[in-house]
Amino acid sequence: MANTPMPVPAPIPASVPAHDPAQPSRVLDYFIVDVFTVSALAGNPLAVVMNNAQLTTAQMQSIAREFNLSETTFIERRPAAVEQAEGVRVRIFTTAEELPFAGHPTLGTASVLRLTVPDTLRDSVITLAENVGPIPVLFSAPESLFAEMTQRDPEFGATLDPAEVANLCGLSSDDLYQSAPPAGGVHRDRVRDRAPGLR
């Protein structure tokens, strides 16, 4: 895990041109971590930013785009009583949008908090207050970074018509197994072996 300060432009009043070099900058600490691995430069990379500068959503999105990783998280500390009741506020961004929840950013951010802000750990659990709601992360042993999270049950959308899905893929309905169960709001119909170029 690397910890490097990063200059961040201060919010610019509407009357000041965006390119004004006289504007002050702030410095944020951030960590680059590898999740789902025990080796550096393996697993899923994640940027974790300690947002002590009250960044706007637009600024967080710009920083996530600059990191250019699949996700970047922003930790927004709150008073201890609020964190005990609701969890440590964390926001998750891809290069294109903010997410309500994502697995490896949750585990990676909790590990950074465990190493750098140990008072956020209570009974082997760090609770993150994400946009989806509170996510408890349980660490398996006192010195371990192995963790498990409890997440909300999945919510499925409407099931798509298999004939429409087949048509969009350039297939006919006969190329699909109709008995496959739905998954994630779309039918997980498997294509028959006879479909050209697909297995």
Cα–Cα distance for residue pair 56/64, rounded to 1 Å: 12
Separation CA 159–CA 142 (nearest Å): 44
- Bridge-based pairing of strands 147-149 and 133-139 is antiparallel
Measured distance CA(72)–CA(94) in Å, rounded: 6
- Cα 111 off chain centre by: 14
How many C-beta atoms lie closer than 10 Å to residue 54's C-beta? 9
Counting beta carbons within 10 angstroms of the beta carbon of residue 103, is it exposed (0 to 12), middle (13 to 18) or buried (19 or more)?
Answer: middle
Catalytic pick among 66, 71, 143, 164:
71
Distance of CA 189 to the CA centre of its chain: 29
Q: Are 146 and 173 in contact (CB under 8 A)?
A: no
Catalytic-residue membership of 71: yes
Q: Which two tokens stand for residue 19?
A: 């390119």
Query: What amino acid positions are annotated as catalytic residues?
Result: 71
